[in-house]
Structure 1
Amino acid sequence: MQRIEFRKVIDLSHIISPDIPLWPGDPPVTFDEVASPEKDGYYLRRFAMGEHSATHMNAPNSFHPNAIGIDAYEPASLVRPAVVIDLRIQARDNPDYVIGIQDIEKWEQAHGRIDQGSVVLFYTGWQTLWDDPRRFINADDKGPHFPGIGAATTTFLLEQRRIAGVGIDTHGADPGQDTVYATNSQILANEGIVLECLTNLDQLPAKGTTLVIGVLRLKKGSGSPVSVMAFVP
């Protein structure tokens, strides 16, 4: 038997509305009323959105043809210990900050080695920009600008720390200026976890949290909006 001990539960997912920040070119979020209490005796809406919008998890087939979709993740694989690395100062000074191995090593000097099987969450402070889509995507003629995880850092975390995945409060685990998507590609090649557009990371301790990730089991989905619950000891 395994046990999760906690004092509180923190929701790490943004509320979904038509006004949320969207990756350039992604479909809009729409809500359409299908039934009303006045006409039908009950209330019902239809909604539509991209698989990689709002707080979401990417699936391997989004980067690797013939890989599994979001519906193939085993439930037990979505319950994971998590650590939080605070990089607000670096991101504040440089929106294109590439998270390096030195950031991992500095965190470990203070908190100890990252446990195998953990999800490493990166708190950049970007979550505070969510209500301003223009600033959250921060795009110009060169594309989006926001911090993300460097390719070598991801390789280090996978090979040297055997992590289960990563999460971040920006719209991409990869830096906004990265068009190769090396972090997504590496982690999803291992059928790992990539969480993007997280929030409330400021309410988590550096270590000790357990994540429970609820996906929509979209058949062969390239990803899914998710409800991410953090159980804080």
Structure 2
Amino acid sequence: MEYATYSFCMAEHGGTHVDAPIHFNENGWTLVEIPDSHMIDVPAAIIDVQEDVFSSPSPDAFTLQVQHILKHESQHGKIPSKSVVLVHTGWSRFWPDKQTYLGWTNSTNSSKPILNFPGYIGNNGGNLPVHVFFGERQIYNIENVANLHLVLNAVNKKGKLCDGFSSNLRLFVLPIKITGATGGPARILAYC
């Protein structure tokens, strides 16, 4: 009997991936220590800021502000507790142009106090103060989310987000589980 098998090598923090809290907190959870309840069938919200990003004189310097979160909540209702927040910046349009895509210099702390969720999803990895803030609180990050625009388009086809209730959006965050890992590639499944 014959069989097929392959070997592969990859970085923990490439493509769509989860940053475990230990990535910026030496006492944080590793990837396998993040409770499944924080990743399986969790509530989510998508904050769409791409219009603000690209109407800015310096799109690569855009930062998520409290006003963006409050605007989202005024249109779609309060973000449910323990939600994963997906921030749709539209920056993925520059993938795979490394120079443009990785040139984002986002480094604000201004939106952190209002965010108190088990996960945060952004389109960049350059915001180190936010990484530290979340890592200290055992909150994971998800970066380089592929096809987030397709999720946003699908849920918006039903009218408002998921029939008017952002709490109807749910995620399965499925990272590769590697013992001791500071992060790992992930598949993100969304449904309403």
> Shorter-chain-normalised TM-score: which range?
0.7 to 0.9
Q: What SS class does the counterpart of residue 169 from structure 2 fall into?
A: strand
Show the 5 A alignment for 1:34-49.
Answer: 41-49=2-10
CA contact (8 A) 2:121 2:145 kept: yes
State the partner residue of 2:121. 167
Question: Which whole-Å CA distance do the structure 2 matches of 1:49 and 1:130 have between them?
Answer: 18
Q: RMSD across aligned C-alpha pairs, in angstroms?
A: 1.9
Whichever residue aligns with residue 47 of structure 2, its letter is I
TM-score norm. by structure 1 comes to: 0.69
After superposition, the C-alpha distances for 1:178-222 in whole angstroms (9 at most, x for unaligned) are 5xx121112222212210000222223342211101122211111
Q: Give percent identity, aligned residues only.
A: 25
Tell me if 1:183 matches 2:183.
no
CA distance in 1, matches of 2:105, 2:11: 21
Cα deviation, 1:83-136, whole Å, max 9, x if unaligned, reads: 001111122132210110111111111111111111111000112222323321
Higher gyration radius (CA): 1
Higher strand share: 1
Counterpart mapping for 1:190-229 below 5 A: 190-202=137-149, 203-204=151-152, 205=155, 206=161, 207=166, 208-229=168-189
Between Structure 1 and Structure 2, the one with more helix by share is 2
The match for 2:102 is: 137
What stretches of structure 1 move > 4 A for 4+ residues in a row? none
Instruction: Give how far 1:156 is off.
Output: 1.5
CA distance in structure 2 between the partners assigned to 1:198 and 1:129 by the alignment: 13
Cα distance in 2 for partners of 1:223, 1:73 equals 11
In 2, the alpha carbon distance for the partners of 1:69 and 1:44 equals: 28
Secondary structure of the residue aligned to 1:48 is coil
Structure 2 portions without partners, runs of 5+: 156-160
- What SS does the corresponding residue of 1:45 show, helix, strand or coil? coil
| Structure 1 stretches lacking a partner, 5+ long | 1-39, 139-144
Q: Does the 8 Å CA contact 2:21/2:140 hold for their aligned counterparts?
A: no
